[in-house]
Amino acid sequence: MDRRKFLSGAVSVVAGSNLLSEPLFAAMAPRVQSSVAEAASTGKHPRAITMWEFSWIERRWPGAGYEDWDQALDELVMRGYNAVRIDPFPHLLAADPHKTWTLWPEWNTQMWGSPDVNRIVLLPALFDFLGKCRERGIMIGLSTWYRKDDADTRMTITGPEVMAANWIKTLDLIAEAGYIDSILYTDLCNEWPGDDWAPFVKPHMTYGDWAKPASLEYMHKAIALVRAKYPKMPLLFSCAEDRPENYLEQDLNDFDLLDPHIWMVQQNGGEFYKLAEYGYERFDAKGYTNLSLKAEDVYGARPDYWRNALVQSIDRHAAVSHTMKMPLITTECWGIVDYKDWPLLKWDWVKDLCVLGAQRAAWTGQWLAIATSNFCGPQFVGMWRDKAWHQQLTHTIKTAEIARQMRQGRLYERL
């Protein structure tokens, strides 16, 4: 990528800000001047990753998008992606990998997973999927949303020892099947300790509480136990943290990477969604009605303001990553959190923000895997069908230079 050209364009986006005086640019100036030939000689570049979470196995009814894995994965490769983040359901896999599990919906307003009660059998399905990914050169990021089944098995996770044991069993099964080298990293819990995904945690915690002593103790214990069995596996807890500087205040030396989920709409205290009157409604259509009537106008009234908010967040995360010497991936991003094909919802402004976010992250050199959005799956038809858009952006990601200090560690070795 031509950094001088991109930097010029990016600065015009944030005109009037003090962006160039921020620590990121001073710290990274020597790297920006490095040659393309030197970058190419490393032989490694960021992975273009997408999030297929629990959809990969839940959305298999006719027309749901994942009923034919060969087709879905061929289309993913055609668009230029070479990594995918999925949920192997570690709490269910450890309990009984061959059982037919009945799952309850997390929502009926969104297109991730199932909008109603559903059933899955994890093995041999997981192995089949991993095998198809390996055939295509796609690496797998493991994560979990701790989906709710009819017996609410996730509530049997009484502490970090149980969480770690479930993950060790999951990795053992994957290793025994011969697919452990296909695993890019393992995220022990999505957006820890949000109570949508980790309601079992005691004492009760939720989004924004990850830095509390009880949360940190839980994470460190779980990571230590999994690492004792799998010392080469990159490990982390993804955290929904709005202020990346908070990472600097904690001892996260046992993390191999951070997976910040960065969206424009969550900046400035969730200002955009407040103006659009969207409240993350899970079983009520009013949120999408408000988005349909207001979101495009809210964005169109001040596009530079919203773009600037996104750029500032990305640069803050990059600066923290540089200081910590901790690589980043981002698997959920860049414009809006919740969206779908709907009568009055257009994709153009969302895609523009995704281009800005993915290119900016790639330019910093701090990211080792970058998503183009959290809508990169066949169920989001309006986003999925623009093949050329994906190809152009994944090319940018996969040819980006990785900063020199990021060229080490467990995650880099697995690229």
Q: What is the pLDDT of residues 265-305, one digit of tens each?
A: 999 999 999 999 999 999 999 999 999 999 999 999 999 99
Domain that holds residue 159: 3-414
Task: Please give the pLDDT value at position 36.
Answer: 38
Paired tokens of 98: 């061959």
Task: Please give the pLDDT value at position 3.
Answer: 38
CA of 356: how far to CAs of 14, 295, 308, in Å? 12, 18, 10
CATH of the domain at 368: 3.20.20.80
- Give mean pLDDT, residues 312-334: 97
- Give mean pLDDT, residues 16-35: 33
pLDDT above 90: percentage of residues in the chain: 88
> Of the given ranges (3-12, 18-27, 229-238, 268-277), which has the lowest mean pLDDT?
18-27
- Give mean pLDDT, residues 230-237: 98
Residues near 166 by Cβ (< 8 Å), separated by ≥ 6? 90, 91, 93, 94, 157
Task: Please give the pLDDT value at position 43.
Answer: 83
Q: Under DSSP, is residue 3 helix (H, G, I), strand (E, B) or coil?
A: helix
Amino acid, res. 315: D
Task: Please give the pLDDT value at position 42.
Answer: 58
CA of 144: how far to CAs of 15, 38, 292, 301, 303, in Å? 40, 37, 30, 37, 34
Paired tokens of 294: 């207001």
Amino acid, res. 36: V
Q: What is the pLDDT of residues 169-201, one digit of tens each?
A: 999 999 999 999 999 999 999 999 999 999 999
pLDDT at 116 over 80: yes
- Give mean pLDDT, residues 322-349: 98
Domain count within the chain: 1
- Give mean pLDDT, residues 319-329: 97
Confidence of residue 242 (pLDDT cuts 50, 70, 90): confident
- Kindly state the DSSP code that residue 342 receives in the 8-state scheme: B
| φ/ψ (deg, to 5) at 142 | -95, 135
pLDDT at 38 over 80: no
Spacing of C-alpha 373 from chain mean position: 9
Give the relative orientation of helices 69-78 and 125-135 as an angle to the nearest 10 degrees.
Answer: 30
Task: Please give the pLDDT value at position 240.
Answer: 80
Q: What pTM, to 2 d.p., does this model score? A: 0.91
Looking at the DSSP bridge assignments, the partners of residue 330 are: 370
- Mean of the per-residue pLDDT values of the chain: 91
Q: What is the pLDDT of residues 375-384, one digit of tens each?
A: 999 999 999 9
